[in-house]
Amino acid sequence: MRCAWQAYMNLVPIWMRKRVDELGREELQELRLRLGTPPELVLKGKRIWLERPVCTEDLKFCVNMASKYSPWAASSVEKGYITAFGGHRVGICGDAVLHNGVMSGVRTITSVNLRVSRDFSGIATTMADYSGSVLIIGQPGSGKTTLLRDLIRQRSDKHGGFVSVVDEREEIFPRNNEGLCFPVGRHTDVLSGCKKTEGIEILLRNMTPETIAVDEITASEDCAALIHAGWCGVKILATAHAGSRHDLINRPVYRPLLESRLFETLIIMRPDKTWYSERIDL
């Protein structure tokens, strides 16, 4: 298991760092900070609350550290999160700033969720021989991105084909001051911080990939870009939010992917981060 733990600890308000380090170094999944209530540590199989309540300065500290004290970055959280060094995601809630009816940031912060990014090599070994396109589905926090990361490595190292990754949120292969935090595979190229639709086209034109990998398909334009790549003969590795096969089939945004028969294998994540596979057919 790999984790940029010190990068995570840098996000945590100083007064609670020692306890968070003691309790969560090995198993912490999330640290939830809510204004006026004690910090909540979400660990594997249990939750622990600290004694002292969270104040406004604690929430500001987390956002400032995640954004590297950049006012522009902190005020332009259009989707309610910041990806910090090490791939740790900082989710933000509060009073939304709207522009033409679309959220453009958060004015007054009332909650922060510090999600730990961990890497587990070898968890996708048994699916390394899936040669076609693979879609991983599951509920939020079920381990989709972690499994996708290792599947990318497995396909890159074991099959020797070129794998190109569009890492829009910089969470699949995050960076720190020394470079990439986690191994990517011998034949993997990573395009970070680019929208999936644009990134897929860039990779198709310039990197001659055999496989393209993306995380969190959420929009119809993402689906269209993936289908286009499939028409070009490229295999796809991707994740999507869906709690079950039935849930996936009944979501209109994913219907074109299923009708195109782009994916051959469906990986379904359970809440306990275990998984099982099925062949995809309508």
What does 24-39 look like in DSSP terms, one character per residue? HTTTEEEEEEEBTS--
Please provide the CATH number assigned to the domain covering 5-115.
Answer: 3.30.450
Contact status, residue 156 vs residue 128, Cβ threshold 8 Å = no
Query: 125-279: same fold as 5-115?
Result: no
DSSP calls for 196-219: HHHHHHHHHHHS--SEEEEEEE-S
For residue 203, pLDDT beyond 50: yes
Structure tokens at 75: 């005020």
CA torsion angle 189 175 222 269 (round to 10): 100
> Domain locations in the chain?
5-115, 125-279
73-113 residue pLDDT tens:
544 466 788 888 888 999 999 887 666 666 656 778 899 99
Contact status, residue 234 vs residue 216, Cβ threshold 8 Å = no
Range 125-279 has CATH code 3.20.20.70: no
Element (H, E) at 222: helix 220-231
CA atoms within 13 A on the CB side of 238: 29
Is the pTM value of this prediction over 0.85? yes
261-281 residue pLDDT tens:
999 999 999 988 889 988 876
132-172 residue pLDDT tens:
999 999 998 899 999 999 999 999 998 778 999 999 988 89
Phi then psi for residue 121, to 5 deg, are -75, 140
CA dist., res. 168 & res. 150, Å (int): 17
Contact status, residue 204 vs residue 178, Cβ threshold 8 Å = no
The residues with which 268 forms a beta bridge, in sequence order, are 137, 276
Q: Give 266's contacts (C-beta < 8 A, 6+ positions apart).
A: 134, 135, 137, 245, 248, 277, 278, 279, 280
The residues with which 188 forms a beta bridge, in sequence order, are 163
Query: What does the pLDDT read at residue 103?
Result: 63
